[in-house]
Chains A and B, each alone.
Chain A
Amino acid sequence: MTFATFLVQVLNGLTIAAIYILLASGLTIVFGLQGIVNCAHGFFYMLGAYLTLTVVGKLGLSFWVALPVAFLANFLLGAALEIAGIRKLTSWGREFTHNLILTLGFALVGQEAVKLIWGTIPQLMNVPSSLTGMATFGPVSYPKYWLFVIAFTGLVMLALYLFFTRTGLGILVRSIALNSEVSQSLGTNAPRINTLIFGVGTGVAGMAGVLAGPILSVDPNMAFELLIIIFVVIIFGGLGSLVGVVVSGIIIGLIIAFGTALVTGMFAKILAFAVMIAILIVKPLGLFGRGAQLE
C-alpha cells in the first residue's frame, strides 16, 4: 500500500465516519436526555434518502432543496413520534422497554411504508452537479462530494458544540441531561425541550440519509443495516457521550474502510463487532461513558 492509497483509505474512513457521527450523535443525545434509544433512527435516515429521490428525481428540484426538506420533514415526523408516543408513555410511568418497543414498531411500519411507496428495488442517487469530479492535492485525488460530506459533518458537530456551550438553550439541555427533576423544578420545560432535541436528532438523521444516498446504497434494508453499526459506534464511544461518538465514529469508520480495502466488507464488519466486544470486556462503559446509566 503506497502512501497515496493509504491517504485515500483514510479519507474513505472519514467519509463513512461522517455518516456514522451524524446518526449516532442524535441517538446519543436523546439517550442522555430521556434514557432511551430511538430504534426508528435508521428509518429517519432512510426516509431522508428516499425523500431526496422524490424531490430531485420526480420534482426536478436541486439537491440543495432536498437537504432542508429532508431535515424539516424528519424533524416534524420525529417530533410527532415523540409527542404522540414517547411523551405519552413516559407520562404514564411506563418502563423504558415500552419506549424501545414503540420505536421499533414505528421503524418496522415505516420501513414497510417505504417499500410500498418507493418499491424494493435498490435506487441510484446522483451526486449534485456542482460537486461532481475530483479534487487533487499532490499525489491524492478524491471525489469532491465525499470531501463535502466530511466538511458538512464537521460543521454540524461544530454547531452542536457551540449550541451546547454558548447558548442558553444548550445549557438548559445539559441541565436536563444532568438531572431532569431538579432542572424542571427550576422552571425548565423539559418535555418541550426533549421533543425539540428528539426532532433535531431525527432531522439530522434525515440529512445524513440525503448525504449518504450517493455514497451508500439506497434500498429498504439500509435502515437496519446501518442502525446496527451505529449501535456499535455508540456502545464503543460510551452511551450518552458526544465526544465518544465522534472518536468512536472515526475509529469504526477507519476500521470499516481499511478492512474493506485490505480483506472484504464482511471481514470489516466482523472486525468492528470484535472491537465492540473487546471494549465491552475491557471497559464496559465504552471509551467516554460516565456510568450514569449503570445501576
Chain B
Amino acid sequence: MEDTTNNYSSPEIDRGKMVKWILILGVLSLLPAFFQATPFADYLAYTVVRMMILGIYAMSYDLLFGFTGIFSYGHATFWGCGAYAVAILTVRSGLQVQDALPGVLAALIAGAGLGLAMGFLCSRVGQVAVFLVSFAFTESIQLLVISDPLKITNAEDGISGIPRETLFGFLDIKSEIHFYYLTLAVLVLSYLVLRRITASSMGDVFLAIRENPVRVRFLGYSIRRYRVAAFMISGAFASLAGALTALHERAVAPEMFNWFHSGDAVLFTVLGSPGTLLGPVLGAAIVVIFQEILSDLFRNWMIFLGLSYILLIFFLPKGIFPLFEKLQDRLRKKENTPAKPQKA
C-alpha cells in the first residue's frame, strides 16, 4: 500500500517540536536533581516514577480503546500479569534471578500471551459484550491467582521481597533515582514504539476498525485478527508497566487484578483524550497528583473515581486535549487580532 497522503506514516521533523521535546526530556531528566534539594526527595521521586509507570499503562490502554475502539474493562489483567511474571521468576521459581531483564522479558511474553487469550474471546463478540467478557475474564484470573492451584502465586498474601539489583547485569537500579531514569527511558521507548505502531499501516487499520468495522471487513481485512493483535500489543505494554510496578514496589498482591485498576486505565485515557498516546500519560499524571492530595484528606478514593467518570462524560467527553487547543487558538487570535481582523 503506497500512500504519500498519509500523515501518520511520515512524522515530519519540525524544529519547533524538536525543541519542545528536548525541553520536556531535559526537565524530566533534571527533576531528580531538583528533588535532591528538597527534604522529601525519595517521596517525590517515588511519586513521579509511579506517574510514569501508570503513563505506560495508560498508553497501552489508549492503543486498545483510543485507536482500535475496543472498550475493554480488563486491563488490570495485564498489569497484574506482568507484575506476577517478575515476582514469580525472581522469588518463587527458585532460580535466584537477581537481574531485572529476564523478569521484564517474561512479563512482555506473558502479557502478549494473555492478550492473545483475551483478544481471542473478545474479538468474537459484540462491542458491549467485550466490556462484559473482559470484566469477567479479569475477575476469573484474579480468582485463579487467589486460589493458587499450581502453588506459584502464594494465594492471598501475594509475593514480597522482589530483588531490584541490576539491569543487563551492569546497570545499577537499586536506588530510587536510578530507577527513575530507567522508568523514564522505558516510558520514552514505549512511546516511540507505540507511535511507530500507530503510524504504521497496521495502525491505520486499527483506526479504521474504530471508525467503521463493517467497511474494513468489506475491504478484506480480518477484523478479528487485528483486534487480537491490538490486545496482544496492548497487553504486552501494560504487562511491562506491571513489571516495573513489581520492581518499584518490590511486592505484588492479587489486589492488582482488581477491576478498579481497569477502571483507572479508562479514567487516564478518557481524561487525557483517547487516541493521542501522550494525553493518557498526562491523564495518569494528573490522576496520581489528585490521588496523592485527596487520599490524605479522604479515605474514599472510589467516590472521586466515580464522580470524575460522570463529570468527564458530561463535560469533557474528549478529554483535556481540546481544551489545550482552544487555549492555543485563543492565544493565537489575541496575537493576530490587531494585525488582521477575523474573516468569516
Contacts and interface: CB of A to CB of B under 8 A. Distances in A.
Interface of A: 31, 35-37, 85, 88-89, 94, 96-98, 100-102, 104-113, 115-116, 224, 228, 231-232, 234-235, 239, 264, 266-267, 269-270, 273-274, 276-277, 280-281, 284-285, 293-295
SS class, residues of chain B in contact with chain A: helix
A8 B167 CA distance: 59
18 contacts: A36-B128, A96-B128, A100-B131, A101-B309, A102-B310, A105-B308, A106-B306, A108-B302, A228-B139, A231-B132, A231-B135, A266-B143, A269-B143, A273-B139, A276-B136, A285-B125, A293-B128, A295-B127
B315 to A, nearest CB: 12
Given A35-B128, A234-B132, A239-B129, A112 B259 contact: no
B121 interface: yes
Contacts of A270: 140, 143-144, 147
Nearest to A99: B313
Contact of A109 (B125, B135, B137, B303): B303
B124 interface: yes
B226 to A, nearest CB: 14
Interface string B159-192: 0000000000000000000000000000000000
Nearest to B300: A112
Nearest to A274: B140
B289 to A, nearest CB: 20
Interface residues of B, number: 40
Contact of B309 (A36, A104, A264, A280): A104
Interface of B: 65, 71, 121, 124-129, 131-133, 135-137, 139-140, 143-144, 146-147, 213-214, 259, 263, 266, 270, 300, 302-303, 305-310, 312-314, 317
Nearest to A37: B128
Main secondary structure on A side of the interface with B: helix
Nearest to A36: B128
A294 B125 contact: yes
Residue among A108, A264, A274 with max Cβ neighbours from chain B (10 Å): A108
Given A105-B305, A280-B133, 6 more contacts: A94-B317, A101-B270, A101-B312, A228-B259, A269-B140, A270-B140
A277 B121 contact: yes
Contact of A228 (B71, B126, B136, B309): B136
Contact of B305 (A108, A232, A235): A108
Most chain A beta-carbon neighbours within 10 Å: one of B125, B266, B308: B125
Interface centre among A96, A97, A110, A280 (most CB of B within 10 A): A97
Contacts of A105: 305-310, 313
B306 A112 contact: yes
